[in-house]
Amino acid sequence: MQQSVSIRDLSLNFGAVKVLERMNLDVQQGEFLVLLGPSGCGKSTLLNCIAGLLDVSGGQIFISGKNVTWEEPKDRGIGMVFQSYALYPQMSVKKNLTFGLRVAGHKKDDIERRVARAAEMLQIEPLLDRKPANLSGGQRQRVAIGRALVRDVDVFLFDEPLSNLDAKLRSDLRVEIKRLHQRLENTMIYVTHDQIEAMTLADRIAIMRDGIIQQLDTPHAIYNHPVNLFVAGFIGSPS
């Protein structure tokens, strides 16, 4: 199976603090990988390195076989969705979706086609003329996902995208993201500290503690065969 994202000996320091140290990770093409771990263990740092929002202290990042360690974020073929929605407040939903495409020089009819497809997939057609201030949290997060969707990225990175939503919206959007993945068949790396999200969404889960992956396996295997007490405790498995 082809590797979509490969991390080789990745280190990231903030000053003297080593957040990631010689991390290795392979994510397969089309895989839904969940990074699960307690607050402060380095999940966002890892995603930001993959996205190119942080310069690494050592090691390499490959996307679809290409070394992107020092590529600009926009050239990496990734789309990122954050916990806070990071929409342009002064622009309509439609402008939020099209802005990046215009900057990248896409033709008008191509842009229209991409927006129509994303709006249909995320059920946001009725919202296209609204401003972000007039959307619910769940609707804003759909638009944020739409911004990655219109760019046709190979890899989606999600950093706790549902954390700001109430329980009902969270479970709705979780189902929606799962459906989206089944339809797009692209690679998704999804950060959460919520075990239920991890167990229901993941093909595989990487359990992180203090910048180190403790176990990487299917939800079933992690639940039934945790490698240590930390994993067992974190996932709530019986042993």
Residues that bind ligand ADP (CB under 6 A): 14, 17, 19, 37, 39-45
- 199, 27 in Cβ contact below 8 A? no
For residue 84, the surrounding DSSP H or E stretch is none
Residue nearest to Mg ion (CB): 44
| CB-based contacts of 165, cutoff 8 Å, min separation 6 | 137, 138, 141, 173
Nearer to ligand ADP, 39 or 182 (CB): 39
Interface region with Mg ion, contact rule CB under 5 A, candidates 36-44, 48-56, 90-98, 220-228:
36-44
Query: Considering the complex, what minimum distance in angstroms separates the CB of residue 206 from Mg ion?
Result: 14
Q: Choosing among ligand ADP, Mg ion, none, which partner's interface includes residue 16 (Cβ < 5 to 8 Å by kind)?
A: none
Q: Is 44 in the site for Mg ion (CB under 5 A)?
A: yes
Q: Choosing among Mg ion, ligand ADP, none, which partner's interface includes residue 77 (Cβ < 5 to 8 Å by kind)?
A: none
Nearer to ligand ADP, 165 or 208 (CB): 208
156 - beta bridge partners? 79, 188
Query: Considering the complex, what minimum distance in angstroms separates the CB of residue 214 from Mg ion?
Result: 17
Which 3 state secondary structure label does DSSP give 13? strand
CA distance to 35, 90, 216, 223, per residue, from 226 (Å):
15, 48, 10, 6
Q: Is 139 in the site for Mg ion (CB under 5 A)?
A: no
Query: Considering the complex, what minimum distance in angstroms separates the CB of residue 101 from ligand ADP?
Result: 29
Going by their DSSP bridges, the two strands 155-159 and 66-67 should be labelled as unpaired
Going by their DSSP bridges, the two strands 3-14 and 58-63 should be labelled as antiparallel
Nearer to Mg ion, 38 or 126 (CB): 38
Total length of the chain? 239
Query: Considering the complex, what minimum distance in angstroms separates the CB of residue 44 from ligand ADP?
Result: 3
Nearer to ligand ADP, 17 or 103 (CB): 17
Q: Choosing among ligand ADP, Mg ion, none, which partner's interface includes residue 52 (Cβ < 5 to 8 Å by kind)?
A: none
Q: Choosing among Mg ion, ligand ADP, none, which partner's interface includes residue 68 (Cβ < 5 to 8 Å by kind)?
A: none
The closest of 214, 110, 201 to 158, measured between CA atoms, is 201
Q: Choosing among Mg ion, ligand ADP, none, which partner's interface includes residue 39 (Cβ < 5 to 8 Å by kind)?
A: ligand ADP
DSSP 154-219: SEEEEESTTTTS-HHHHHHHHHHHHHHHHHH--EEEEEES-HHHHHHH-SEEEEEETTEEEEEE-H
Return residues touching Mg ion (CB under 5 A): 44
